[in-house]
Structure formats: C-alpha cells, structure tokens
Amino acid sequence: MDIWTYQSVEYVTVAGESWLASASEYPRSMRALWESRPWAPTVLPCGRVFDVISMPAVFGRAVLDELWASGPGCGPVASFRGRTLLFVQPGAAPRLRTLLAWEEWAREVPPLLCHGQGDAVTVPPIQRMVDAPVSPGQGAGRWIVAPDSREPWLPGAATVLWACVRASRAKTQPEVSEA
C-alpha cells in the first residue's frame, strides 16, 4: 500500500488549502503542486492574504496561550525551524514592527521577524506523512493550528502586541507560592 494514501496526522482542510493557495500569484498551479506533492513545504508571499510574525518557539507558545486565554484565539499557526509562525491580517506585520519600536515594548518582547508585503515565508506541507519524524527544529515544519476555512480569523497588530507583552511579562513575574 502507498504510504501517501494513509490518513494524515496533520492536515490542512480543502477550504484551508484554498485559502493558502489564494496567497500565491498562481493559485491553480499551487493546488496542482499540492495535489502531486502534499508533503512538500511551500514558499508563499506575504501581504496579499496574510502576513506572518515569526517568533522563538518557546515565546511563541506563550503568545498562543495568551491569545487563547484572553479572547479570540488565533488563526493558522505553524512551526518551522525552531520558530513559531503566527499568521496575521495583511498589513499587521509593518504595524506591529512600528508598535514594537516603542522603547517600552522593545525591552520586554524578544526579537520578532515581521513578514509583510514583499516578503515570503516557507509554510509546512498541507499533509504530513504518518511515519514522518517530528523532531523540533528539523524537517519541513508542521502546523500547530492548520488552516481550516476559506476565511480564517487572523489577529491584527494590536492583538498580537498585547499577547506578546502579556507573555513576556508573565515570563518575568516571580512565582507566588500558595502557603
């Protein structure tokens, strides 16, 4: 039996695949590529359908926890080469970069890479082989929250900024023991 026909452990829905493909200048070609090689990572441009905020993996986990604990949650999120890739609204990357430039935020938040118009990012495969190794920082990356709709909710710059600030402050708060 062909290993590519097994049910994937991590996958992007058909609607999510359509959304991702719409970021490409040639969406039909992108979908054809994924049909023939669903396990291959892909490079997609930012700025049209989404921007991407890339952050260190551990900090990214804390930011995701803040996004889910304090409200709206998040849209698609991937892990690639030891970094968390948070998909955000188009235009949010340069806005977040500007907001983070304020001295009061820059001290608390680790360096973030804000990918917007004119940038491109490598996104994980739309499917992962069942037997593929999952080792942090290695391979083609993986989806933490896979795209599952044609119009996923994407956070804006202000939402991401406050999640980053809360995550960095929580990290620096001394633990209080209950006596």
DSSP structural state of residue 177: P
- Rounded CA separation 60/72 (Å): 16
177 falls within a domain: no
71 falls within a domain: yes
Average pLDDT over residues 24-44: 93
Report the percent of the chain where pLDDT is more than 70.
80
143-159 in b/e form (b: 16+ CB < 10 A) is bbbbbbeeebebbebeb
Q: For residue 55, what are the β-bridge partners?
A: 84
CA angle 57, 76, 34 (to 5 degrees): 105
- Rounded CA separation 100/106 (Å): 6
- Rounded CA separation 118/98 (Å): 17
Does residue 4 have a pLDDT over 50? Answer: no
176 falls within a domain: no
- Specify the number of domains making up the chain: 1
Which residue range(s) make up the domain with 138?
8-168
Q: Which tens digit of pLDDT belongs to each residue from 138-150? A: 566 889 999 999 9
Q: Which tens digit of pLDDT belongs to each residue from 38-87? A: 888 999 999 999 999 999 999 999 999 999 987 778 889 999 999 999 99
Mean pLDDT of the chain: 84
Do residues 131 and 3 touch, judged by C-beta distance below 8 A? yes
Do residues 34 and 17 touch, judged by C-beta distance below 8 A? yes
